[in-house]
Structure 1
Amino acid sequence: MPHATADMEVATPQSDLTPSTSQANDDIELPDAPEPRTTTDKVALEDIFNDDVSDSELLTSTADVPSSPPLHNGTSTSSPTSSAPAVTTTVRTESYSDPTIMLQYYARLFPFRPLFLWLNASPSPSPRFANREFALTLSNDAYLRYQSYPSHDLLRKDILRLNPSRFEIGPEYSTNPRDRKTLRKASTFRPLTKEMVFDIDLTDYDDIRTCCVKANICEKCWKFATMTIKVLDAGLREDFGFEHILWVYSGRRGVHAWISDKEARELDDDKRRALVGYFEVLKGGAQGGKKVNLKRPLHPHVRRSLDILQPYFFEILVEQEPFMRKEGEERLLQLLPDRDLNDALRKKWASSPDRPSRKKWEDIDELAKTGVSKSLDTKALLEAKQDIRLEYTYPRIDVEVGKKRIHLLKSPFVVHPGTGRVCVPITCGGDMKKAEQFDPLTVPKVTELLKEIDTFRTEYLENEEDDGTIPENAKSMKDWEKTRLRPYYNVFNDYVTKLVKSENMSLKREREEDGHSGANGMDF
């Protein structure tokens, strides 16, 4: 377990303060970070994804610890004064946030250099990274805010020193977060930029998903996450022109979107609130009330979303059976506009209590065509059915997460302490095939990854006989290449590479427009 050093205050554990919860008071007093470090390190672009680091320097006491995770033994023995023979019961369980496991993971697998390049958008250290806030949750649940680092190597060394169970990423501030208490005016310490983020949690679908509850997920309800990715990604790209959008699995039951375009990073809080509101189709309101209240004609984004969600709606009807139970059936009737039609539907369904949701949905049109209601407004019925489809398929966003730059969000590639699964990238660049193919239940756990490194060493590096299956570059392969993290690393590296190229092109254009290059420009 990491301990606080003399130059660091450690917040006492708080069960009601979580890193992903927006603060009611932005000026809350939180612990200082260690004293600033200085560095003159320069990182070449071609070397940015090379994570070769001397672990002997950083893991002096643990370098020889095997990659495979330890097992915790819970031992219960009889009283020493008892006349009966001593009985020992051993329960073997894995602890995903075990300090030994986390230390091995950070040292061998965490992509510190790509993370730096992503947040810095340049291979050379700059205030954009140095003034960035990191918040660390230690293994004793102490929560350290306002940590900052001039370079990826110093971030790596501190993570290995403190060995947090997870860490979050915050905004770039107007000055180094470590120095905030030395400023004469507190108002001069303010957030400048941060990626625009969205957070989706499947517990927000508990009123319509019937396969799982709370933190549990399965292939059926993960479909809601896939639908969310496809709808929001299309809107962000087509309606706002954003290009650099990364979707990341939260490690348990949700997804996070990181939009890294310069225009997105520089949005102030008012504009972030407006952007989130653009996608807030489901307003909630009073319990049992209508969640979708849209003006007609429908906005192009809503029309496009309906097209994307149409096939999923019928899958939801079959897999979730939202109208099978009495309360689901009544909810459907409540959302329909005609009383006579509702009475006819209620009578039909009463005679067939086990009628599937898909059939009940089809019954609406079939009975409407029979003329059971003389006053039926067919346009109102069509609009009501559109609203129902949106209520059961449209993204449910945690709106508070995206509204403020000051909000912290869990870093990609950290380990979820409850599931042991790595928060891996799902897709970037608008590749919706990857989103459709993603299965959270196959995402590797940290313990599995460490075992894979050991297995690779046993099968390939210590195998004296080459049967033709040993990779040619086996000895030079990095640890992440030996595990199932490899495709997720590739997604992230692709995202970061395109972002850096885009930033470089943008900077070049700005210089040309300012007259610092070209035929009439002056270079110094």
Structure 2
Amino acid sequence: MPHSVSPAAEEGSTPLSATQMDQDSPAAAGSQPGQPAEEDTVMADASGDEAEVEAVKSSTDLPEARNEKQEIKAEDLFNDIDSDDDDEFPTSSNPAKGDMPTSTEPQSSPGDVDYGAGNKELMRIFYQRFFPWRYMFHWLNHSPTPTNDFKHREFSLWTGDIVFRYQSYNDYESFRKDIIQRLPDRVEIGPVYTANPRDRKVFRNSTAFRPLAKELCFDIDLTDYDDIRTCCDKANICIKCWQFMTMAIKVLDTALREDFGFQHILWVYSGRRGVHAWVCDKKARELDDQQRKAITGYFDVIRGPKESGKRVNLRRPLHPHLSRSLDLLKTHFQSDVLEVQDPWRSPEKADYLLQLIPDPDLREALRKKWESSPGSASSRKWADIDALAQTGSASKTLDARDLLDAKQDIVLEHTYPRLDVAVSQHLNHLLKSPFVVHPGTGRVCVPIDRDALEEFDPLGVPTAQGLLREIDAWNDGSTGEGQQEDGGGAVKHVQDWEKTSLKPYIDYFRSFVTALMKDEREIKVKRERDEEQAESLDF
């Protein structure tokens, strides 16, 4: 997916249009001048002598919460959220149902309803009642009490074409209040800096203000598959071409866990046509740009545009990661590519397949066969390659090993992940936050359970409008607004998100954050123990 490069101007102090930003900055390959990126933004260090104008007064001027040390068990981290007096998620009775927006539910095709600046009241209700503020805070903060992991984190807020950079917050409550007040169309998450991003001008001529840590992120977009998917193109998607995202997640998730040892990998639907991966392990967050580029290079298999010819040229023997990937992808290639996408049915597409066959005699024999039966299915054409090769009559000089290698390259070209590498290579890259609403489709950017990839339907995820309708329809077992019997006769408080199809996604996110924070605490305890031992040895 093309990506945009933010300007050196400081949007946090002087708002600029996204169009102007792209025109004034170097564009990466594939970017269109004057078009803001849909899923991500690259930051550049602030420079120049722009006028000192405060764009929006934020609620982050609130006093910092006290950071008191206390022993907290991982399973108890979120107990305070479930209490009856917590107002993070106001219940259905606030506001009244009669005040809810009544605009039409979006169809499968994006862009039917404006979920951005044109529907502020809908967004206000969503952020007040459905967005998991405290879970998000714990995810980015890695502790139940505020740390610099959160307080020094940059957030970028988009309102139409206006981008406010270098926003930061002291705690989850100030974060929540500011977003509900501004109601941005997009919220993007950037790195943790060595100092508060709002104080960056103090370090304007110093290297003291620099990005320190950020999750290792990956961005995969279905538009990068337009040369091989036949069911949809551009921003359009369906469950058929979504299988390319399923393949990509399987390959990347397996490699990141087995080859790099990462454990905390959060996959998130982008809200329209792609997925984002957030590798949240501490050792991943602390990678520098060179290390991130090295990891990205590990996954660099598909190169150059289709017009440049063969896009996969791998050395043999194959790296174990690629051999494992072929095992993961071969079933998808047969069913989702050959049978569903049928990429070589037309003569033009069949000619491209022929270019990938290494033996000229076999190539010519296949051409004659396919011209004699025009419009034959891709699965038939793929079978013809082996059928003619095994007869021996098509070519006297055919090298079976070369043909096998070529076929493996073809499989990988049509199934292997296609990454927006700029998102992964730089610490200072911003990426859209989970759980925000995509302004073009109304869909919530929900996490994806890697153990249930085959069941995930991007067109079936909750929408902002749909969540309000689900609240209206929620009445089974209820004893009043925000209450429900727990099966034993007792009445418990029920948050609004628990009454909707958003519940399994927030539950999954909560379990992910709990496991991450548990590991973070164990790392901290081990570090403190090692420091105490070192001090005793010094003594």
Q: Which TM-score band applies after superposition, normalised by the shorter structure?
A: 0.7 to 0.9
Q: Is contact 1:22-1:400 (8 Å) kept?
A: no
2:241, 2:491 → 1: CA distance?
39
Deviation at 1:17, TM superposition (A): 3.8
1: distance between equivalents of 2:43 and 2:263? 32
Residue 181 of structure 2 is matched in structure 1 by 161
Displacement of 1:67: 6.4
Counterpart Cα distance in 1 of 2:150 and 2:42 = 23
Match of 2:410 in 1: 388
Alignment of 1:170-249 (within 5 A): 170-183=190-203, 185-249=205-269
Letter in 1 for 2:502: L
Q: Distance in 2 between matches of 1:417 and 1:507?
A: 39
CA change 1:458–1:499 in 2 (3 A) is closer
Q: Distance in 1 between matches of 2:487 and 2:469?
A: 18
- Does residue 510 of structure 2 align to residue 506 of structure 1? no
Q: Secondary structure at the match of 2:16?
A: coil
For 1:406-426, what per-residue CA distance to the aligned partner results, in whole angstroms no more than 9, with x for missing partners? 110000000001110000000
Which residue identity does 1:116 align to in structure 2? F
Partner residue in 1 for 2:7: none
Q: Deviation of residue 118 (structure 1)?
A: 0.6
Residues 67 and 328 of structure 1, relative CA distance in 2, 3 Å threshold: farther
Deviation at 1:25, TM superposition (A): 4.5
- The answer to whether the aligner puts 1:308 opposite 2:328 as a matched pair is yes
Residues 1:340 and 2:349 aligned together: no
Shift of 1:386: 0.4
Alignment of 1:3-402 (within 5 A): 9=13, 11-15=15-19, 16-18=35-37, 20-23=39-42, 25-27=44-46, 34=58, 36-41=61-66, 46=76, 48=78, 50=81, 53-54=86-87, 63-64=95-96, 66=98, 68-71=100-103, 94-97=113-116, 98-138=119-159, 140-183=160-203, 185-284=205-304, 287-315=307-335, 316-371=337-392, 372-402=394-424
Aligned equivalents of 1:184, 1:143: Cα separation in 2? 20
Distance 2:286 2:312 in 1: 31
Q: How far, CA to CA, are the matches of 1:521 and 1:501 in structure 2?
A: 29
SS of match in other structure, 1:221: coil
Relative to 1, partners in 2 of residues 1:123 and 1:501: Cα closer, same or farther, differing over 3 Å? Answer: same
Amino acid at match of 1:48: F
Task: Name structure 2 gaps, 5 residues minimum.
Answer: 1-11, 20-34, 105-111
Secondary structure at the counterpart of residue 155 of structure 2 = strand
TM-score of the pair, normalised by structure 1: 0.86
How far, CA to CA, are the matches of 1:337 and 1:200 in structure 2?
A: 30
Once the two structures are TM-superposed, the CA of residue 328 in structure 1 deviates from its matched residue by 1.3
Q: Which residue of 2 aligns with 1:85?
A: none
Q: Does 1:477 align with 2:498?
A: no
Letter in 1 for 2:364: D
Name the CA shift for 1:265/1:289 in 2 (closer, same or farther; >3 Å).
same
Residue 433 of structure 1 pairs with residue 458 of structure 2 = no
Q: Cα offset for 1:452?
A: 1.2
What are the superposed Cα offsets for residues 415-449 of structure 1, whole Å, 9 maximum, x if unpaired? Answer: 0011100000002xxxx431121111110111000
**Structure 1 residue identity aligned to 2:327:** D
SS of equivalent residue, structure 2 residue 17: coil
- Report the structure number with the largest CA radius of gyration: 1
Identity %: 49
In structure 1, list runs of 5 or more residues that go unmatched.
Answer: 1-7, 73-92
Change (3 A) 1:422 1:285: closer
- Deviation >6 Å, runs of 4+: 468-471
Letter in structure 1 aligned against 2:263: E
Matched residues, number: 484
Is the partner of 2:277 in helix, strand or coil?
strand
CA contact (8 A) 1:39 1:150 kept: yes
Aligned to 2:6: none
Deviation by residue 1:269-300 (Cα, 9 ceiling, x = unmatched): 11111111111111125724111111111000
